[in-house]
Structure 1
């Protein structure tokens, strides 16, 4: 495959908004070729741009790259009780508007959950599946003793978004603490406080028994074994949010799958090991 120069992209130059039949969704869109859809994780300040800024330009060399702010994050609408929260349906609605029949889905953490759900529920729409630091349905989804250390920090930062708590959040996400910069913490902090409704909605999923977290995902169960899309699981050996055992479970369940386990890597493989991540995804989707 011949590569073009990496796109010089900015958040502003790639910004777009779509109004689906469910919610208004903000996304970044750049490049041409087979679509790669980047789906961010959860937590305060998470957006398509903050999760994937080191990757978008590289992947856009040979692909159309779409980095989404899912409803409840970034500049997209906050989910409401009338429409409900179903990120898989929200993703399908956006792909329909963009006239994309099939795409490679690349999901970090919660974005990996959405990608898995889409591959089960809408297999004809998913050409390739890539997960990074993502859970796999099953017992003890966070850890055998309950919510993991990283999830505790994430929820604390959601309940009390402060510069200090966002700094703790980026620190626990990274193995290499030199990447947990004040600048990254500030970007996440500013994105978090831009919409308090987003934070309240996410926190309610863990505190309000009427709003159970990730209901659709938990219901996938054994259906994950039905996934036919070529699947690549990328996981940090030092992930303190979701153990790499989740990706081991995923590749033991999905027939056409493989695992890349990275030492000295936390929850954000696409940031901590950006160059390797970009090569892995570009080669995987290009073949």
Structure 2
């Protein structure tokens, strides 16, 4: 049974990064750890890590931004290079915080952001924890049903609470009953923000450069992966229906300093579904205890 921990008091502020507003909440003291949320409809930083922040803050300075396009940050993402856009925004946020280096923890879209930043500027990352990251083998197989559900949320008849609940309960987690209605209600409210509806932050690549964008978003085609020195822990739910668990093996085979942990009876949201396990393993790995 997952322990539900109350959120600690958090300092909140907004950073100006190249004219974009990046909302940040933080708490704790120690080495800096940046928690990067996933890209599902209505996602935001603190909400995605509600079961982890208090425990990690016992050892670390926990920094939780809303990625561009989400929460209280500026809406809109460069559809031609979304992972690069997110990584640039995060790097700018680290600059504004005066952090030369930090640990990065990223789930799904946030994991892709962390990995892209590490590939572009490995000197900025101490250690990295990735949970079912996006962009792993995405051009080597058709999208999963879960990913299609996510990408189709704003298309067709548009967003609805029913579509969001179906995505979360059917595809995002292993045990649908573990997600309270209040989580779905809050995410739905954020997902229909008019600014978000006008510029959804995660969409299916389209247009004449769609193929180029898809290849750019597949890290297994990036030759830099095999030379990345950053110590990395990959946690992947064995029952993930959004990003295939086989992506974990791809990363373990290509990254020269990577540990892989497949988590049984767990879907795409490892840090939420298996919070106790995640908090312990993540904190120990970041401290150098493997």
Query: Judging changes above 3 Å, is the alpha-carbon distance between structure 1 residues 279 and 199 closer, same or farther for their aligned structure 2 residues?
Result: farther
SS in 2 for 1:197: helix
- Structure 1 counterpart of 2:149: 153
- Structure 2 counterpart of 1:50: 47
Query: Judging changes above 3 Å, is the alpha-carbon distance between structure 1 residues 79 and 194 closer, same or farther for their aligned structure 2 residues?
Result: closer
CA deviations 1:81-111 (Å, max 9, x no partner) are 6x98511110100000001111110010111
| Deviation at residue 8 of structure 1 after TM alignment | 4.4
| Deviation at residue 124 of structure 1 after TM alignment | 0.7
CA distance in 2, matches of 1:283, 1:94: 26
- Structure 1 counterpart of 2:121: 122
- Structure 1 counterpart of 2:258: 257
CA distance in 2, matches of 1:198, 1:72: 10
TM-score by length of structure 1 reads 0.88
Query: Judging changes above 3 Å, is the alpha-carbon distance between structure 1 residues 50 and 214 closer, same or farther for their aligned structure 2 residues?
Result: farther
- Structure 2 counterpart of 1:89: 88
Unaligned runs of 5+ in 2: none
Among 76, 84, 88, the residue aligned to 2:73: 76
- Structure 2 counterpart of 1:166: 164
| Deviation at residue 14 of structure 1 after TM alignment | 3.4
1:194 and 2:190 are equivalent in the alignment: no
Q: Greater shift after overlay, 210-219 or 13-22?
A: 210-219
Alignment of 1:199-278 (within 5 A): 200-202=199-201, 204-209=203-208, 216-218=216-218, 221-278=222-279
| Deviation at residue 17 of structure 1 after TM alignment | 0.8
Query: Judging changes above 3 Å, is the alpha-carbon distance between structure 1 residues 267 and 152 closer, same or farther for their aligned structure 2 residues?
Result: same
Among 12, 15, 18, the residue aligned to 1:15: 12
Among 9, 23, 29, the residue aligned to 2:26: 29
TM-score by length of structure 2 reads 0.87
Query: Judging changes above 3 Å, is the alpha-carbon distance between structure 1 residues 237 and 23 closer, same or farther for their aligned structure 2 residues?
Result: same
